[in-house]
Structure 1
Amino acid sequence: MNDTIKVICENGFGELEVPMGTPLLEVAERLTPGLHPFLAAFVNNRIKELSYKIYAPVTIRFVDITSFAGIRVYQRTAWFLLQKAVKDLYPGQTLHIRHSMGQSGFYCEIDGIDEFTPDEAAQLRDRMRELSVRNLPITRQRMLTTEVRARYAEEGFTDKIALLDTRPRLYSQLYTLDDTAGYFYGSLAPSTGYVTLFDIEPYYNGFYLALPLRTSPDTLHRNVHQEKMFGIFQEYQSWVRIMGVPTVGDVNSKVLAGDGGGLIKLAEAFHERKFAWVADTIYDAHLSRGARMVLISGPSSSGKTTSAKRLGIQLGVLGLNPVLISLDDYFVDREKTPRDADGNYDYEALEAIDLELFNDHLARLIRGESVDIPRYDFITGRRTWHNAPLTLDERSILIIEGIHGLNPRLTPSIPDAQKFRIYISCFTSVAMDNLSRIATTDNRLLRRLTRDYRQRGADALSTLSRWASVRRGEEKHIFPYQENADIMLNSSLFYEISVLRPFAEKILREVPDTVPEYDEARRMLKFLDNFIPIAPDEIPPTSILREFIGGSSFQY
């Protein structure tokens, strides 16, 4: 009997023969990695930890920190390392990973500590380094959920217990690092020694966990100054705590109690107050410095279009005449769109916009001329034209929404005093638990999957295959300008993933397991399974969420 099997390694190593039952880690050790160690691997398009054992012929693709999947493995492993260090130094106190900062750092707090000192940061950093050098193994066990729940109770993980109780399963996974138990929504590295680059710095009431960027894996980005974004996260997280829904388990509990409609009403009322406040601020800028142009920027699926329309209504209440323009309508025809490094159309590039036509129209509008505005058809990839020309009067204020709104190259001829800049994104405020935050990119991906399927004729495979390019474009063209904003807006609704679940699940299940995008579809399906669905019936027609699920009273 032949006890060896063939595996195909897509990293350029060709076919290998390995003994049956060989862990991926041993296969990785036979290969010559690049500049960075392998952290996990895709096995037949499903991501697996390096402890996974091979018992049949498979196709393998190893990932390191430079990939989107790999950086997530690195981050989760760093969180577990941090959890262990906090437990050693502050026994009985709870660590909270509140939200992201920059593109690969995280703001954290420890209960009972109102101000983290430089000495405390140094002690925590040193403890993490000790644990990293010791290269302690990280193990995963599949156990009866009752046993996992009992272990969580011993550790005081009430946040994790709440999620287990609202999404009951017979078996659950438990990670162990020395004497510390944990649960993470995705793969981890085999041991602490894989996390070698990190830092701890005091920040606000807690500290900043600095981790390397996917695009710059050998460098830590310290001293992240994103005060506006930090303020948005703090405001919303404080609010969801007051509302009693800081975690998914808390949201599920309220839904199971029949309060889904109440959650919708609260979240929508909060949004309405925010739009009214922003309109008041714009009106003051209009009077004080002659602001005539509102530029709304943000990454894909942030809700820019609906936000522009709702803001327009609030400005109308104040006596102004809002005129809305979407940058998407100034896309060049599809065949003229620049390509990214993979050869795909790069709609995130500024050059995908017809800047000459756009600025010509701006100049003519400001001069008081009547202008025919284009409309871009995403299905045909061609420009059409509106029937009704636009004209500005003395009460008019121009609202321009699009991903490049804060890029100075977009409107070079317009004086800064005449511009009011808004950055909007889906800053997800509800967390899975105290250590596992919900990435804003996942929330936005669910929105985009749902919208593109319904409005643009794009199936899940098409959207997922473009998502990496979209994210690279955001890193390059959008995020560097976000702090230029006069105001930041959070478009997330703490109930929305519960509503998006049935819409997105249907689409994601259509992705076949023969394509690389299958693992991302599978990951998102597992993520969605943690949410109790909420029916969309009580969502008002002006809600940002209606832009994605349909039923909006706005025209798009």
Structure 2
Amino acid sequence: MKKIIIKYGAKEIEAEPFIKIEELFKDEENLSYMDNPTVGVLSDGVLRGLDERIETSCTIERVPLFSSLGKRIYRKTLCFLLFYASSIIYPSRKMKVEHSLGDGFYFHYLDSGSFSIKLLKEKMMEIVDNKERIDVVRLSHLDAVRILKENKYDDTVDLISTMNDESYRFIKAGSCYQLYTEKVLPSFSFIRLFDIREYSGGMLLRYPQMRSPERIREFTDNPLLFSIFSESKRNRKLINFRSIADLNTAILDSSISDKILLLESQMRRKIAAIADDIGRRRTVRIVFISGPSSSGKTTFSLRLSNELRLLGYNPIKISLDDYYKSREEVPRTADGDYDFECLEALRLDLFQSQLCDLIAGKPVNLPSFSFTSQKTTFSETPFKMEENTVLVIEGIHGLNPRLYPDLDPSCFYKVYISALTGLNLDHANRISTTDNRILRRMVRDYRTRGTSAERTLQMWPVVEEGEKNHIFPFQNNADMMINSALGYELAVLSPYAVPLLRSVSEDKKEAYAVSRRLLEFLSYIYPLDSRLVPQDSIIREFIGGSIFPVT
């Protein structure tokens, strides 16, 4: 059989067809975690796991552990390690992974029995020390259902039953099976740095951040955020909407219209409850709204304003974007790029002086900033707060106390909003909040600005960096948090997102790899007609057709 040529850096490797990728990196067998080993490759732009085989000549590029793609492979393998260890120690119990919290993922058992963190951690380290392998297997539909039922993975059975494909790929270690939705390592040997701690009836599986891969950061609790996750979970349970299988079933049996109305009613009640809380405080004159990209801040602020009007307030919306400096005045990053995300990109002196004047009852000419001309103009008619006026101020820095150092805390109320996705594919495969927001932003930016999916995915690491520096550190300052994710939204976003993701070209490497991963989990979700979405829904901010002026 004719040999193939694999180009890797300056080298050209001659190999047999169907060579396993991990064989190309045999010299890394004895590397440690801190040696930043190879955890995958980009083969002509396609992300491939070390367990996969190369059939034809190609060019490859290593994916190191300490990279954006590498960290996902590490974390997915780490999660599978905990599931595998649990299946050995507690074989009759079912574990579920939920949301992220404090540099980790929250896990819990579906029963109320006790568990030992010590035993779980010891078993995990034993598996790592033994360098146990992870196999990728393909099972027929019938075999998959049989094995999953034997292991009591009923939610995965429900999911694949809605798909009814001929076969499915699984990752396997011992008798532990999981749907293969993301790349994993071929063995557990590199999973050296992690921690488990008990938390709220379950446990947090914690991992290092790639900024400081040599350590796990000190744990910072966020009880308010956890309470919002728990509240969302209870709300979904009330209407029997707990997984993608439930979503698919509702679409199939046409009960989805009722589910949408119930989910939107829950959102409406939450927004009204926030307005009521503001009203009870009496002294609140300013509401700050902050959250990461594509959280639905604009629609939320408009819906909250309507609820405040029903309580007798006159809400006036102000955007922090109107206080931007011109490009020449904006600070630069260490790389020399303009840092539009930092607090110093705003005219803080103007904002703070105007805010103090407004609270003192003085008239103010409010600014309007044009991103096109990079110029600020001021309203001709001065604005003055009346007794029933409430300022609703939206912007990413809304929870940063440096924004309003001279204000009496009793006069403002702070809301943190984010799309905190709650639906899992199944017990072992969570859908990250970040992925939900990427899809929202991609659909919106293509519709409103003509931005390609490719460009959105390429820019996302910059967006994430800004959020890590300027939004997430202050989320604990919020008086109230709200989850803007709606249980049905991925089915609505899918028909818009799938063609955009398929348009990403292979030569864009990381963007292409992310697009393939997103397409993989969207393939499990039935598409839903957007005409079922109410006009005042937060989702309309992204797909269009909103009753509000949000574009």
TM over 0.5: yes
AA paired with 1:432? L
- Kept in 1, the 8 Å contact 2:168–2:179? The answer is no
What is the Cα deviation at residue 452 of structure 1?
Answer: 0.9
1:284-299 equivalences under 5 Å are 284-285=280-281, 287=282, 290-299=283-292
Identity of aligned residues (%): 35
Aligned residue pairs total 544
Query: What's 1:450 paired with?
Result: 443
Query: What's 1:55 paired with?
Result: 55
Counterpart check, 1:75 vs 2:69: no
What is the Cα deviation at residue 334 of structure 1?
Answer: 4.7
Structure 1 residues 52-110: Cα deviation after superposition (integer angstroms, max 9, x where no partner): 222333232322333222111111111111111111111111001121112x3011111
Gaps of 5+ in 2: none
- Pick from 333, 354, 364: which aligns with 1:370? 364
1:159-198 equivalences under 5 Å are 159-198=155-194
Query: What's 2:21 paired with?
Result: 24
- Pick from 510, 513, 532: which aligns with 1:538? 532
Inter-CA distance 528–376: structure 2 relative to 1 (3 Å threshold): farther
Distance 2:6 2:68 in 1: 28
- Kept in 2, the 8 Å contact 1:423–1:487? The answer is yes
Inter-CA distance 387–502: structure 2 relative to 1 (3 Å threshold): farther
AA paired with 1:232? I
- Kept in 2, the 8 Å contact 1:114–1:206? The answer is no
The DSSP-based 3-state class of the residue aligned with 2:318 is strand
Inter-CA distance 179–279: structure 2 relative to 1 (3 Å threshold): same
What is the Cα deviation at residue 315 of structure 1?
Answer: 0.9
1:148-163 equivalences under 5 Å are 148-163=144-159
- Kept in 2, the 8 Å contact 1:331–1:353? The answer is yes
Structure 1 residues 208-255: Cα deviation after superposition (integer angstroms, max 9, x where no partner): 212222222221235431100110111111221232121101110111
Distance 1:73 1:454 in 2: 32
- Pick from 463, 471, 479: which aligns with 2:472? 479
The DSSP-based 3-state class of the residue aligned with 2:172 is strand
AA paired with 1:328? D
Distance 1:405 1:63 in 2: 37
- Aligned-residue CA RMSD (Å): 2.2
- Kept in 2, the 8 Å contact 1:323–1:392? The answer is no
AA paired with 1:162? D
What is the Cα deviation at residue 431 of structure 1?
Answer: 0.9
What is the Cα deviation at residue 347 of structure 1?
Answer: 3.5
Distance 1:492 1:140 in 2: 32
- Kept in 1, the 8 Å contact 2:285–2:359? The answer is no
Structure 1 residues 510-552: Cα deviation after superposition (integer angstroms, max 9, x where no partner): 2212212112122212221211111121322211111111111
Distance 1:74 1:436 in 2: 15
Query: What's 2:506 paired with?
Result: 513
- Kept in 2, the 8 Å contact 1:49–1:188? The answer is yes
Query: What's 1:413 paired with?
Result: 406
The DSSP-based 3-state class of the residue aligned with 1:193 is coil
Query: What's 2:65 paired with?
Result: 65
The DSSP-based 3-state class of the residue aligned with 1:458 is coil
Inter-CA distance 22–276: structure 2 relative to 1 (3 Å threshold): same
Inter-CA distance 282–78: structure 2 relative to 1 (3 Å threshold): same
The DSSP-based 3-state class of the residue aligned with 1:315 is helix
AA paired with 1:427? L
Query: What's 1:243 paired with?
Result: 239
Query: What's 1:258 paired with?
Result: 254
Distance 1:388 1:236 in 2: 44
The DSSP-based 3-state class of the residue aligned with 1:217 is coil
Counterpart check, 1:423 vs 2:423: no
Distance 1:329 1:552 in 2: 23
Structure 1 residues 477-534: Cα deviation after superposition (integer angstroms, max 9, x where no partner): 1111111111111111000010011111222222212212112122212221211111
Distance 1:352 1:451 in 2: 25
Query: What's 1:300 paired with?
Result: 293
- Kept in 1, the 8 Å contact 2:418–2:485? The answer is yes
AA paired with 2:489? E
AA paired with 1:521? S
1:38-117 equivalences under 5 Å are 38-102=38-102, 104-114=103-113, 116=115
The DSSP-based 3-state class of the residue aligned with 2:135 is strand
- Kept in 2, the 8 Å contact 1:331–1:376? The answer is no
Inter-CA distance 502–375: structure 2 relative to 1 (3 Å threshold): farther
What is the Cα deviation at residue 329 of structure 1?
Answer: 3.2
AA paired with 2:48? K
Distance 2:492 2:380 in 1: 36
What is the Cα deviation at residue 155 of structure 1?
Answer: 1.4
Inter-CA distance 381–152: structure 2 relative to 1 (3 Å threshold): farther
- 361-370 or 510-519, larger mean C-alpha shift: 361-370
Inter-CA distance 336–216: structure 2 relative to 1 (3 Å threshold): same
Gaps of 5+ in 1: none
- 259-268 or 328-337, larger mean C-alpha shift: 328-337
- Kept in 2, the 8 Å contact 1:37–1:64? The answer is yes
AA paired with 2:460? W
What is the Cα deviation at residue 337 of structure 1?
Answer: 4.5
- 381-390 or 362-371, larger mean C-alpha shift: 381-390
The DSSP-based 3-state class of the residue aligned with 2:225 is helix
TM-score (norm 1): 0.92
AA paired with 1:76? K
- 196-205 or 432-441, larger mean C-alpha shift: 196-205
Distance 2:383 2:219 in 1: 45
- Pick from 121, 141, 155: which aligns with 1:125? 121
TM-score (norm 2): 0.93
What is the Cα deviation at residue 304 of structure 1?
Answer: 0.9
What is the Cα deviation at residue 462 of structure 1?
Answer: 1.4
Query: What's 1:400 paired with?
Result: 393
Structure 1 residues 109-156: Cα deviation after superposition (integer angstroms, max 9, x where no partner): 11323555xxx1111111111111111000102332332222212211
AA paired with 2:542? F
